A and B are shown apart, each in its own frame.
Chain A
Amino acid sequence: MNKEYYGKLIYELSRAGRRGASLPDNGTPDATASIPAGLLRTEAPRLPEVDEPTVVRHYTNMSANNFGVDTGFYPLGSCTMKYNPKINEEIAAHHAFADLHPMQPASTVQGALEAYWTLQNALAEIGGMSEFTLNPFAGAHGELTGLMVIRAYHQARGDHRRTKVIVPDSAHGTNPASAAVAGLKVVEVKSLPDGTVDIEALRPLLDDTVAAMMMTNPNTAGIFEHGVKEICDMVHAAGGLMYYDGANLNPMLGMARPGDMGFDVMHINLHKTFSTPHGGGGPGSGPVGVRKGLEQFLPDPRVRREADGSFTVTRDNGDALGSISATLGNYGVQLRALAYIMSLGRDGLKMAGPLATLNANYIKESLRDLYLLPLDRVCKHEFVFDGLRDKSTGVTTLDVAKRLLDFGFHAPTIYFPLLFHESLMIEPTETESPETLDAFIDTMRAIAREAAENPEVVKSAPHTTPISRPDDTAAALNPVVTYDDLIAAQA
């Protein structure tokens, strides 16, 4: 990463008359006159005018102010920032897949459909589910789809009273937000001091209005919900379904399957567990799986294998759910995930979970004397510190996070989960070497020492990044969200 701040906008490089691309000319006659003047735009869109070399240099310089997994350690809790294999990129870009139109007849895309079908089955095996749809575009979209499946199931039984979704207080914000979009009411259930769901607090919430309970397991504190089986039994007895938020599936690879725990519906974040790049925020992919008996509630379109071995795309689920996407989803992302699963195979997948868990516990055990460990037990792929152990220095979790940037590390997730005031949530993933972990541990220890001896240097961090701390409050008070806003603000 370049420590010099680049900071220019492409508009500031624009000069009238320049152009960065060439296009073919099909030599057909000008048909502009066929469009009535009232349907044409009157002002040009004022896009930048830039030559090709300038475009390439601009975005290259911009990228140098960015930090990715390929740059360095990225222990962002609950985001599973593992290595993104390069062969996957090559396969996703293959023209034999990249040039296919989504409405192309199934007979002309048999290879593409076989890839979809193969991934769908691999995920069903890994999740312990009966069938998956790969259509949802991201984890939150998967949650929404899963909740729609659950509502469709209840409605198909003529049970219209079930409008409540139970969500633990440790859940990701997307859980309650997805429930609200799906038209369901959210009821929060408290966690015990050990970070797991309070079963006694859950009991009185279970009645005939419960549509589902959503759980992340291991939960956002990295703790395996050992009571999961009992919780599933209780919710099932009340007539509700269990939803597994797959955000934290990674440590379960090779060790346990949501279907075997008693979950009915789940999603998987391919960009977490199955190594597809996060792309600065997307595209992701959030396939949804269901147990046997719920398959008919999955959204259209669906891929099926016919008796003769050929593949078809069907859109026949009628009113069961409908569609949550126009196409079969972020297909390019799906190809990457399939390549990853094929590379690891059953043996490699079996190691991924335990090594992710080993890396997390190794960091936890190496720092617990200096950072406050509110949940003192074996964690899974991630764990949470409640800030520095020594609270007298005034150094906050935000300060520690910013100081880490000075040493070439991305910060952990901060101030989440909401269970603790100074949450510092660390997820190393299985693709980090012990040497990297040791360097991170040494830095975290050095920061703790600085906090005691020279707290100002931590509180004013970062010092070596392209920019220093930005003013978030000013940004929100007076939103400047386009270049036109910027020009207006300068005038």
Chain B
Amino acid sequence: MIHHYFPHTADDIQRMLGRCGMKELDELYADVPADLRLKGDYDLPAGRSEKEIRDFFNDLGSRNRQLTCFAGAGFYHHYTPSVIPYILSRSEFLTAYTPYQPEISQGTLQYIFEYQSMMSRLTGMEVSNASMYDGATATAEAMMMAVSASRKRDRVLIASTVNPSVRRVVATYARYHGVRLDEIAEADGVSQRDDLEAKLAEGDVAGVIVAAPNYYGILEDYAGWADACHRAKALFIVNCIPADLALMKTPGEWGADIACGDAQSLGMPLHYGGPYLGFLCASKSLIRKMPGRMVGATTDADGHRTFVLTLQAREQHIRRDKATSNICSNQGLMALHTVVYLSLLGSDGLREAAMQGLNGAHYLASRLEATGMMRMSFPGKPFINEFAMDTDFEVDDLERLCIENEILCGVKIAPKRILIAVTEMQTREDMDRLVETVKKLKS
């Protein structure tokens, strides 16, 4: 019997082959040389019923552990309001492709326009593209954008306090794209202004990438950094965490030319690594250097305000090897997630969520310090919802004990150093349970 995703009956197939002057499906592949044809079947299981598929994934799912999550390191467990999956499952959004035909794609085009508007305001920048794959690739694109905007320079500085998983991806892109990537040194968990100035003085830097907050959760003070970069004709690029932007100084306020990062913190399910959304916002003067899709407002023949893909002369389907990037799509559905999330929470809700993380993290940090077995790695440094601690014990031992107690205690960044994050998802009781587990290590 034919699979239920295929409408064709045996009679249909015969009739349609007849229109093509053929008798068998095989004739459609007469131009494929016989020695290139697949002999026999794929070495794969036979098709399964829907029930069997559901059982299979239920079984796999039962071999994953559901843990109270204090892990962050760039990815945070925030609450996803039920409206979001409901709207995202509307098949007019879900099963559409890139809005090539604006007359029947105003839904997609409008939400991308809203996305660009919200991300610009949130980051304090003038423009946003329609989104990128994730935070690491968006940062790599920002690096390439800086090099391209400078025309002659090929050197970019990245702070060593930027998340190493982002730095690894940026370094890969740099190596292949012919960008010389250098680090800005850190001391006591923050980037060193002296080192920045010394490297800028060499006169060959196209861009400078820093993180706010940084990998250790620290809010670094970038006052004067943008000016220093601009004096040296380099672009200032801030990788940031959007959920924190309700509270903290924005890339725009720091004087950044480009803001980038991952929008996962805006309530996107963790989903073991994706899909998330990379964002890239910039000053308007850089708009024609931006990678990726962008939506603009215009009018139709009847004078309606409408929305279209615009500035496409930057893109690969027009410019081919001269394009600003090779990116072809955006992260469409996750951009829709972002606008629905930000619409539901609003400025106050976003601030409230960030406050829960801020307050919870400070409570937890002080309780953990009070055990006498852990200390802040960088005491006195301001943080929002994530912090690094040094431990008397092996982090692996805590991790093991915590998993037995259904807790993911954080992310190990050295044998005796751990990053711990708090969001609105963990209760005070959860935090106390983590503290009690640490105390158990004493015995």
Q: Are B136 and A325 in contact (CB under 8 A)?
A: yes
Q: A34 at interface (Cβ–Cβ under 8 A)?
A: yes
The interface stretch among A21-29, A233-241, A386-394 is A21-29
Q: Are A481 and B298 in contact (CB under 8 A)?
A: no
Q: Are A177 and B272 in contact (CB under 8 A)?
A: no
- Separation of A472 and B17 alpha carbons in the complex (Å): 42
Q: Are B19 and A362 in contact (CB under 8 A)?
A: yes
Q: How many residues of A contact B (CB 8 A)?
A: 203
Task: List chain A residues, Cβ under 8 A from B414.
Answer: none
- Tell which of B44, B350, B399 touches A47, judged by Cβ atoms closer than 8 Å: B350
Q: A157 at interface (Cβ–Cβ under 8 A)?
A: no
Q: Are A173 and B110 in contact (CB under 8 A)?
A: no
Chain A nearest CB from B248 CB (Å) reads: 6
- Separation of A345 and B47 alpha carbons in the complex (Å): 4
Q: B157 at interface (Cβ–Cβ under 8 A)?
A: no
Within B345-378, the residues touching A (CB, 8 Å) are 345-353, 355-356, 358-363
Q: A246 at interface (Cβ–Cβ under 8 A)?
A: no
- Tell which of B37, B344, B399, B411 touches A52, judged by Cβ atoms closer than 8 Å: B344
Chain A nearest CB from B355 CB (Å) reads: 7
Q: B330 at interface (Cβ–Cβ under 8 A)?
A: yes
Complex: chain B residue closest to A141, CB-CB: B133
Q: Are B42 and A7 in contact (CB under 8 A)?
A: no
Q: A35-B382, A91-B54, A327-B274 are in contact. Are A64 and B310 (CB under 8 A)?
A: no
Q: A385 at interface (Cβ–Cβ under 8 A)?
A: no
Q: B151 at interface (Cβ–Cβ under 8 A)?
A: no
Q: A148-B172, A475-B308, A482-B127 are in contact. Are A19 and B349 (CB under 8 A)?
A: yes
- Tell which of B89, B271, B334, B345 touches A331, judged by Cβ atoms closer than 8 Å: B271
Q: A430 at interface (Cβ–Cβ under 8 A)?
A: yes
Q: A221 at interface (Cβ–Cβ under 8 A)?
A: no
Task: List chain B residues, Cβ under 8 A from A49.
Answer: 346-348
Q: A55 at interface (Cβ–Cβ under 8 A)?
A: yes
Chain A nearest CB from B240 CB (Å) reads: 11
Q: Are B134 and A326 in contact (CB under 8 A)?
A: yes
- Separation of A333 and B327 alpha carbons in the complex (Å): 18
Q: Are B310 and A476 in contact (CB under 8 A)?
A: yes
Task: List chain B residues, Cβ under 8 A from A454.
Answer: none
- Tell which of A183, A347, A482, A489 touches B176, judged by Cβ atoms closer than 8 Å: A183
- The total number of A-B Cβ pairs within 8 Å is 707
- Tell which of B97, B131, B312 touches A81, judged by Cβ atoms closer than 8 Å: B97
Q: A322-B175, A466-B103 are in contact. Are A103 and B96 (CB under 8 A)?
A: no
Q: How many residues of B contact A (CB 8 A)?
A: 208
- Separation of A422 and B317 alpha carbons in the complex (Å): 16
- Separation of A48 and B345 alpha carbons in the complex (Å): 9
Q: Are A177 and B321 in contact (CB under 8 A)?
A: yes
Interface 1/0 per residue, B14-53 and A, CB below 8 Å: 0111011100011111111101111001111111101001
Q: A224 at interface (Cβ–Cβ under 8 A)?
A: yes
- Separation of A222 and B329 alpha carbons in the complex (Å): 22
Interface 1/0 per residue, B146-186 and A, CB below 8 Å: 00000000000000000101101101110111100000000
Task: List chain A residues, Cβ under 8 A from B250.
Answer: 41
Q: Are A348 and B47 in contact (CB under 8 A)?
A: yes
Q: B92 at interface (Cβ–Cβ under 8 A)?
A: yes
Q: B245 at interface (Cβ–Cβ under 8 A)?
A: yes
Q: B190 at interface (Cβ–Cβ under 8 A)?
A: no
Q: Are B121 and A23 in contact (CB under 8 A)?
A: no
Task: List chain A residues, Cβ under 8 A from B62.
Answer: 96, 111
Task: List chain A residues, Cβ under 8 A from B178.
Answer: 183
Q: Are B304 and A87 in contact (CB under 8 A)?
A: no
- Separation of A278 and B94 alpha carbons in the complex (Å): 7
- Tell which of A23, A27, A104, A147 touches B352, judged by Cβ atoms closer than 8 Å: A23
Task: List chain A residues, Cβ under 8 A from B42.
Answer: 125-126, 254, 346, 349-350
Q: Are B137 and A137 in contact (CB under 8 A)?
A: yes
The interface stretch among A199-207, A255-263, A289-297 is A255-263
Interface 1/0 per residue, A86-123 and B, CB below 8 Å: 01011101111111111111011111101100000010
Q: Are A278 and B177 in contact (CB under 8 A)?
A: no
Q: Are B297 and A91 in contact (CB under 8 A)?
A: no
Q: Are A467 and B300 in contact (CB under 8 A)?
A: yes
Q: B296 at interface (Cβ–Cβ under 8 A)?
A: yes
Task: List chain A residues, Cβ under 8 A from B120.
Answer: 482, 484
Q: A366 at interface (Cβ–Cβ under 8 A)?
A: yes
Q: A401 at interface (Cβ–Cβ under 8 A)?
A: yes
- Separation of A453 and B103 alpha carbons in the complex (Å): 25
Task: List chain B residues, Cβ under 8 A from A38.
Answer: 221, 223, 249
Chain A nearest CB from B125 CB (Å) reads: 9
Across the A-B interface, give the 9 residue pairs with the lowest CB-CB distance, nearest first.
A327-B273, A96-B61, A345-B47, A66-B107, A279-B333, A281-B332, A68-B95, A280-B332, A111-B63
Q: List 10 A-B contacts (CB under 8 A).
A: A5-B106, A26-B426, A47-B342, A65-B106, A68-B94, A68-B95, A101-B67, A255-B38, A346-B47, A351-B6
